[in-house]
Structure 1
Amino acid sequence: MKPAIILIMLMTTLLFGYDEPSLKITEIFNNQKSLPGTAVLKKRNSLLLLEKTRYLPMEELARKTFVKGGIEITESNFAQKRNSYVTEFKILDLETKQTVTLNIPPGKYGWADISYDEKYFLFNEYKEDKIILWLYDLDTNKRKKLAEGLSQAIADAFRIMPDGKHVLAQLRAFKNSEKPGKDIIPPGPVIYETGEKAGQLRTYPNLVSSKYEEDLFKYYSSSVPYLIDIESGESRKILEPAIYRNLEYSPDGRYFIARTIDSVSYKVPWWKFGNTYKLYNNKGKLIKVLKSEAPAVNLVAGQTVTGPRHIFWNPVKPSTLVAVEALDGGLPKNKAEFRDRLLSFNPEKDKDFVKGRKLKFRFAGMTPINENYYTVSEYDRENNWYYVTLYDMKNNKTTELQNSSIDDHEARLGSMFETKNNANDKMPLVYENKIYFTKQEYSEEGTYPKIYSLELDTGKKSDIWKSERNFYEYCIGNLDDKMNKLVIHRESPVDYPNKFIYSEGKYEKVTDYIDPTPELTSLKKEFITYKRKDGLELSGMLYLPADYKKGERLPLLLHAYPREYTSKELASQKVNYQNKFNYFWGSRDLYMCLEGFAVLENANIAVVGDPETANDTFIDQIRDCAQAAVDYLDSREIIDPERVAVTGHSYGAFMVVNLLARTDIFAAGIAKNGAYNRTLTPFGFQSERRTFWKAKDIYFNISPFMFADKINEPLLLIHSLEDSNPGTYPIQSKRLYQAIEGNGGTCRYLELPLEDHSYVTKETHLHLLAEYIDFLNKYVKNRKIK
């Protein structure tokens, strides 16, 4: 080979190694801190503070991992991969304002599970070769080892039992020496065969694909449930080894249900494997097989299984199971007066499930409140509508709490305020026959969370607390059941987040976290609104450099993620967070403000239409939304319309490449972890309900891969090599790069090792910042306009 040819190959191929941006930006990046996780200890008038890792070390991701069938397990210790760690535990006394570090040595720990009486909490410790379960006694300030060799593959590794005196732990079922070996010669071909029914499956990655992988899946995901006495430390095996999805005790502790995986499928991930619900008494004796489900490989879009499903214990009754079953065959296309029906089963008196209330639409959740009240949520798929109803069983009365589009955030009920009951289950807080909700309200000035009460007998709502103007505040927890004393998180554009006690209209600061990067706080921020050419009102959050002067035209980076709406009214609803602090994480686009760019974040790219056909006009609508944003900022003389770039992640990346291929609005684009050839996701994607064979023209027309020859602007294409998101296989980006290269376009393609769909390492984020800055400065900021 000639030396000149070798030189050209070296010049056009990236050298390995992680880069960093300028020293200034690297220092700002390194100075950023994560706020501690916070749990309210109401009975102790204290806060439990958990210091967390901000990023995962690259060496952690490089550890040997089993990734098949929907699980991702570190082989040496059976821990879920990509978990962030708690590094330090502290207690903040709200009376004295003193913070004490708990007597727990430095290490890698999991989140804390606090007992109902707040006498102790449980937590995992991640060692190189095992997971250890610890108990920390808050009265004695001592920790105690309860078990080691926990399994995190599928079932919860541990949970506090209803009596508060025992812990249920899932331990590894096999020793290292029992790990299956791989045959040198394959035992035979792997055979796939269609069944009697159609099976329309999303494109799941990393599925089990051989007998050897099936054996490994069973090895890593099987566990043995043990009951551990907290006082004595004695343990008792309650069932034999199996692949447990979950194991739940009744509130009175007399029974438990075990949901186990019975068969491994090569077509779907573990949550769609065949499984069985079994009911046992607390001695481990089988009482009844409640339900067996076949692998979910023959379901069409929107279909649900038949027979009892969503089986769980009613937390307000000693030992009564609740479930739901479909009345329409599980098929949304079938006409039916009622879609679902509630079921109940009491082991003391029932031989089978008892039929209960019928639901007009598909069941979407149930919240028992007390013996007299519960709420049920329903989803109308045809109209993308959501309902929440309050049932008063004592008076046989119903109250409608929500009746709105699933996209109508202004009409949402909010989230029920929860507390732990004496069986260590999370329950709605009830005081004087009232329940409480947290909800966000939106305005031109910002977003303002609030708490309101709902009287169960009358349905009357009353606001009891609301975030102050110019601040963004939300409630972390309550210090009394009357909701008179609250722990509040408070921040503003100029105030770093801190914790406060709110009582009788007054705020008392209890933490003193300091802004580590004032360079970012000083960025100018403005919530902007503008109109699409058809009159649709859009919005976004505009950020400008701190030293920006009016009339100065800047290069622009527009960040967006397209969303579907059923009406223009819903698409025009504003989500305005201009009263929040400029909190940075990772390689956020706002760093470009330090390079002299204007940044428009969360620009509203609305696709309005019927849920079945909205994508028929996808290209036209994303083009018009993008053009409207650029035209508006141009009209205000903030940006130079010839120096505008667009960026997006996942479905946002799909949008970016379409905008480059089908419009001339942008000078360049950055697309991360997207899918660009929709024929490779033939059974639907995002909100698209039709299959490729029902809408061939649509699939083709909105696939930017098909128009790679029209991409005449530079593209920075990025994809993580361990992307586990259905549909966004790394091959999507590689084939797009090859298509652009083959058609003479300009593309720089980065493959990120060890990262998943979301990026979690410091090295990756610093490298991406360096790439963004170099790329945008070259092709946008310093663009030579012909």
Structure 2
Amino acid sequence: MRLPLLCLLLASASPVLAAPTSYHRAPDAIARILEAPPTPTVAVSPDHKTLAIFDRENLPTIANMSKPILRLGGFRIDPATNGQAEVRTQWLTGLTVQDLATGRKTMVALPAGVRFTSASWSPDGKRLAMVAQGADALTLLTVTLDGKATPLAQHINAAFPGRPYEWLPDSSGLIVRTIDPARGAPPAESTTPAGPIVQESNGRRSAARTYEDLLGDAHDEALFDYYFTGMLTRVPLDGGAATLVKPAGLWSDFSVSPDGRYLLTERLKRPYSYLLPAGYFPTEIGVSTIAGQPVRTIVDRPLADDLPVDFDATVKGPREVAWRADAPATLSWAEALDGGDPKANVPFHDRLFVQAAPFDAAPTRLADVAKRYAATMWGDDGFALVVDRDWKTRTEHRYAVAPAHPGEAKLLLTRNYQDQYGDPGFPLTEANAAGKPVMRFTPDHKAVFVTGEGATKAGAFPFLARMPIAGGEQTRLWTTRAPYYEPVAALLDDSGHRILTRRESATMPPNYVIETVGGGKPRQVTDLPDPAPAFARVTKRTITYARADGLPLSGTLYTPAGYDAKRDGPLPTLLWAYPAEYTDPKVAGQTVDEGNRFVRPRGISHLFLLTQGYAVLDDPAMPIIGENGAEPNDTYVKQLREDAQAAVDAVVKLGVGDRDRMAVGGHSYGAFMTANLLAHTDLFRAGIARSGAYNRTLTPFGFQAEQRTYWQATPTYTEMSPFTYADRIKAPILLIHGGADDNSGTFPIQSERMYAALKGNGATVRYVVLPNEPHGYRAMESTQETLWQMTDWLDRYVKPTRPAQAVAK
């Protein structure tokens, strides 16, 4: 069903017909915050001498969001500029560079009204590059530290995600993906079909999850070829002529070797798929000279349409091919030893290889890992850190390998990667002279610097530590002190004595600070203001409570500015949550106090309801636990009821929440949770469900953390689907969905069918479709509409102290 503009479908005691309306402005207290300029973002130069401060564009207009786009191969692009569609882009509008030593700021002279994205520092820290949007094309600009901006390349092809350029390691120029000037006009679509669209399977298993924006016919294939085909061009900074490196092709990714002599490329090929996004298309990965002469093909992979549905399933042959960051020109990659099936009973599931230039010798086995390869952090010939992960058990292994002595991997630790308290952090990586990320060693070269969250029950206190490369316990060098939350952004010297951090507290907005390890007064570098001072008097606290089975739970309780429980009594309260699956109850029950975090709402945040007199229990733990190999979802509804009951009891016991005026809400999987709680409990007077999926038979090859298919777990799929129990939902429910949802599994039809089911069973329901909006709504008009709808719904059905039935009538 196609709905014009914004449609409100309200079913109550009297039938109400669908009707187009204009957008609503959010309540004034909310609208003023939304319309204020957003906080700038920053990037530190590789040499740690300069800070780039970027002004961000506020929420886009619905007019910009409604410009024509193309949905091809799982991507959304702007055909006018050959770049990412508005929905996929966070535009920047201004740039200031600040000298860290002196604090001197220089505003960059950018063209009036410019919007740009994909900004990055050159390896030497003397320039920035960025992609600027024009009316009908994208342009590559470079900026020097004296504030001058210079156009460098025209007609950039940014259809594929990621930066459409890469700096050369010596900072002399860039490799840029550009549009082929000979490509001509876009392929025209015939109004007469050439014939039927036929898909056929020959009995081979080819399961696929529910993806959005796929190719659908031959014309889509032609459009994909037209817009995604680009050339790779070398563009020097000295004003010399650009040179062609790779001719027109579907270059989905490319990177330069650390020594600048070779180019690693990924190129997509036919045949395409109508069931899978472009990441599964046939792919050729190869290495060439920097001038573009082919040297070696690493893999020429066919269409990956035969993968098991398990999360750790992967393709056969080389994958995740990348440069070894600390070597001149050495490739690394992983290959499955289990045929790509994580259920295979093998001692090792993945093998890592390396191969050095000139790539004519056989690849060398670097290490075998027990589970699915996740990442490598490079250091030098003597130390690299390899990580594997297993989804089913949430287990992570970390190994020490010595690239100079390949073949052996020393196990450093095994942990549950959901364990917040036991998280040792990860080595700090920073760009080397070639611009590649490498670990930072301590001066004695016996350890690497490590940073982490430092999560404890009392709060998260980020730290800097040294991790011995030979194994053993870490040594903490610096730890954030209360009342601050202060993650490490960079080391400012080789000894780790001076560090750049981002400091915030519950009352202080995040700003960059230079700390001296071992003592000394911090020096504040930036002075970014509070973006929403109206929230300064809002109070928050972490509350802890227990589920009926004794499992400890927690959530963050917010109350409006000036609220006093003894004086003002219980408030109407919104529980906004998102369930999570665990394999270990000890990990599921961990609590980390959020008291040292600075919180200001943006976009469609439910926290804006604090300005309207509501208390909000934010992110109350909703763990779904499967112990000893049991599947968490087989007891989903039971555990969800117990989680919600404990949360409601906790806020009522504190005297903040009014048991008779409770609402529940969530986005995406949180919307799914909301509908389930309204179907299976009577705890809530109303619910808000945004962009959810309610009928799991429409996602038959897995969803969220569920790996089993519908046919393997039919009862679970049925019982978890609130669509099955639509006749039990009696509390008023607000359904909101983006009309152009781009998330796997949450097609708008999920809300359309859920609305029809609720309406047909006599529920009180409103269904709001936000035109041209993706899974997370972005336009200013849509954002204000969403917050108006949420406020109006709760004001109607939750805030009044008289019974909800009377309100509904």
Question: Do Structure 1 and Structure 2 share a fold, with TM-score over 0.5?
Answer: yes
Offset of residue 143 of structure 1:
2.4
Give the equivalent residue in structure 1 for 2:793.
775
Give the 5 Å matches for 1:178-217.
178-217=185-224
Deviation at 1:493, TM superposition (A): 1.6
Alignment of 1:339-358 (within 5 A): 339-348=349-358, 350-358=360-368
Q: Deviations over 1:345-397 (max 9, x none)?
A: 23436344333422222211112211211111112344221111122456888
Cα distance, 1:9–1:288 mapped onto 2, change above 3 Å: farther
Residues 483-532 of structure 1: CA deviation (Å, up to 9, x unaligned): 22222222212222222221243212233333343321111111000001
Q: Between 155-164 and 534-543, report the one with greater CA deviation.
A: 155-164
The 2-side partners of 1:70 and 1:502 are apart by 44
Q: Which residue of 2 aligns with 1:698?
A: 716
Alignment equivalent of 2:426, drawn from 410, 415, 419: 415
- What is the percentage of aligned positions where both structures have the same residue? 31
Amino acid at match of 1:663: T
Matches for 1:743-762 after TM superposition, within 5 Å: 743-762=761-780
Distance in 2, matches of 1:248 and 1:45, equals: 26
Counterpart of 1:715 (choices 733, 757, 764) is 733
**3-state DSSP class of the match of 2:645?**
helix
Q: Supply the distance in 2 between the matched residues of 1:96 and 1:277 (Cα, whole angstroms).
A: 46
Match of 1:471 in 2: 484
Q: Structure 1 residues 354 and 96 mapped into 2: Cα distance closer, same or farther (>3 Å)?
A: closer
d(CA) in 1 for partners of 2:511 and 2:354?
45
Q: How far apart, in 2, do the equivalents of 1:592 and 1:247 lie?
A: 45
Map 1:246-645 onto structure 2 (within 5 A): 246-263=253-270, 264-302=272-310, 303-348=313-358, 350-392=360-402, 399-432=410-443, 433=445, 434-457=447-470, 459-503=472-516, 504-551=519-566, 552-610=569-627, 613-645=631-663
Partners of 1:166 and 1:281 in 2: CA distance: 16
What's the counterpart of residue 3 of structure 1?
none
Amino acid at match of 2:555: G
Whether the 8 Å contact between 2:384 and 2:400 is mirrored in structure 1 is yes
Does the Cα contact within 8 Å between 2:48 and 2:490 map onto a contact in 1? Answer: no
Matched AA of 1:664: D
Distance 1:575 1:739 in 2: 40
Answer yes or no: is the 8 Å Cα contact 1:448–1:473 preserved in 2: yes
1:120 matched to 2:133? The reply is no
CA deviation map 1:71-108 (0-9, x unaligned): 11101101112311111110223343332211223310
Kindly indicate whether the alpha-carbon contact (under 8 Å) linking 1:561 and 1:655 is maintained by their aligned counterparts in 2: yes
Q: TM-score, with normalisation over the residues of structure 1?
A: 0.95
Specify the SS of the correspondent of 2:759. Answer: helix
Distance 2:361 2:523 in 1: 57
Aligned partners of 2:551 and 2:642: how far apart in 1?
10
Whether contact under 8 Å (1:131, 1:151) holds in the other structure is yes
Residues 498 and 308 of structure 1, relative CA distance in 2, 3 Å threshold: closer
Q: 1:175 to 1:730 in 2, by over 3 A?
A: farther
**What is the DSSP-based 3-state SS (H/G/I as helix, E as strand, rest coil) of the residue aligned with 1:495?**
coil
Amino acid at match of 2:422: A
Q: Distance in 1 between the 2:293 and 2:405 partners?
A: 39
1:398 CA drift (Å): 5.5
The Cα shift of 1:131 comes to 0.5
- The alignment yields a C-alpha RMSD, in angstroms, of 2.0
Contact 1:612 1:688 in 2 (8 A): no
CA distance in 1, matches of 2:302, 2:630: 29
Contact kept in structure 1, 2:351 and 2:369, CA below 8 Å: yes
Name the CA distance, whole Å, in 2 between partners of 1:21 and 1:543: 20
Question: Residue type matched to 2:158 in 1?
Answer: Q
Q: Return 552-561 or 434-443, whichever deviates more.
A: 434-443
Q: Contact between 2:675 and 2:687, CA under 8 Å: does it hold in 1?
A: yes
Partner of 2:41: 37
Displacement of 1:57 in angstroms is 2.4
Deviates more, 1:508-517 or 1:566-575: 508-517
Question: Is 1:737 the counterpart of 2:755 in the alignment?
Answer: yes
Higher relative contact order (CA 8 A, sep 6+): 2
* Matches of 2:411 and 2:479, distance apart in 1: 24
Please tell me whether the aligned partners of residues 416 and 438 of structure 1 are also in contact (alpha carbons under 8 angstroms).
yes
Deviation at 1:586, TM superposition (A): 1.3
* Alpha-carbon contact 2:59-2:780 (below 8 Å) kept: yes
1:679 to 697, 700, 706: 697
Check whether the contact 1:68–1:213 (CA below 8 A) recurs between aligned residues.
yes
Deviates more, 1:383-392 or 1:680-689: 383-392
Q: Could you tell me which amino acid in structure 1 is paired with residue 522 of structure 2?
A: Y
Shift in alpha-carbon separation, 1:269–1:43, aligned structure 2, 3 A: closer
Label 1:320 to 1:500 Cα distance change in 2 as closer, same or farther (>3 A).
Answer: closer
Determine if contact 2:560/2:613 at 8 Å carries over to the other structure: yes
Name the structure 1 match of 2:84.
80
Contact 1:205 1:725 (8 Å CA) reproduced: yes
Residue by residue, what CA displacement relative to the aligned partner does 1:408-439 show, whole Å, maximum 9, x if unpaired?
12223323322221222122222421322221
Name the SS for the 1:480 alignment partner. Answer: coil
Q: Structure 2: which amino acid aligns with 1:585? A: R
Give, in angstroms, the shift of residue 469 of structure 1.
Answer: 0.6
**Cα gap change, 1:13/1:462 in structure 2, threshold over 3 Å: closer, same or farther?**
same
Distance 1:654 1:475, change over 3 A: same
Decide whether the 8 Å contact of 1:69 with 1:207 is kept in 2.
yes
Confirm or deny: 8 A CA contact 1:164 1:424 kept in the other structure: no
CA contact (8 A) 2:48 2:492 kept: no
For the residue of structure 2 that corresponds to 1:556, the secondary structure is: strand
Q: Relative to structure 1, is the Cα distance of residues 9 and 181 closer, same or farther in structure 2, using a 3 angstrom cutoff?
A: farther
- Which residue number in structure 1 is paired with residue 24 of structure 2? 19
Residue 151 of structure 1 is aligned with which of 152, 157, 163? 157
2:103 maps to amino acid: K
Kindly indicate whether the alpha-carbon contact (under 8 Å) linking 1:673 and 1:733 is maintained by their aligned counterparts in 2: yes
Report the 3-state secondary structure (helix = DSSP H, G, I; strand = E; otherwise coil) of the residue aligned with 1:435: strand
Give SS of 1:209's match: coil
Q: Deviations over 1:614-639 (max 9, x none)?
A: 11110010111000011122222222
Q: Which amino acid aligns with 2:742?
A: S
Do the aligned partners of residues 255 and 59 (structure 1) sit closer, same or farther apart at CA in structure 2, a change above 3 Å counting?
same
- Give the aligned length: 777
- 1:42, 1:114 → 2: CA distance? 7
* Residue 175 to residue 670, structure 1, CA distance change in 2 (3 Å): farther
For 2:202 and 2:342, the matched residues in 1 are separated by 21
| 1:4 matched residue in structure 2 | none
Aligned 8 A contact 1:521 1:582 in 2 = no
For 2:666, which of 645, 648, 652 is the aligned residue? 648
| DSSP 3-state at the match of 2:265 | strand
Q: Distance in 2 between matches of 1:14 and 1:521?
A: 40
- Contact kept in structure 2, 1:56 and 1:84, CA below 8 Å: no
Aligned amino acid, residue 420 of structure 1: A
Instruction: State the shift of 1:295 in Å.
Output: 1.1
Q: Which residue of structure 2 lines up, in the alignment, with residue 5 of structure 1? A: none
| Unmatched tracts of structure 2, length 5 or more | 1-12
* 1:58–1:182 Cα change, 3 Å: same
Distance (Å, rounded) in 2 between the aligned partners of 1:354 and 1:393: 10
Return closer, same or farther for 1:353/1:598 CA change in 2, 3 Å cut-off: same
Deviation, 1:553, is: 1.1
Q: Tell me the secondary structure at the aligned position of residue 569 of structure 1.
A: helix
Residues 42, 479 of structure 1: 8 Å contact kept: no
- Residues of 1 paired with 2:745 and 2:801: CA distance? 34
Secondary structure of 1:526's counterpart equals strand
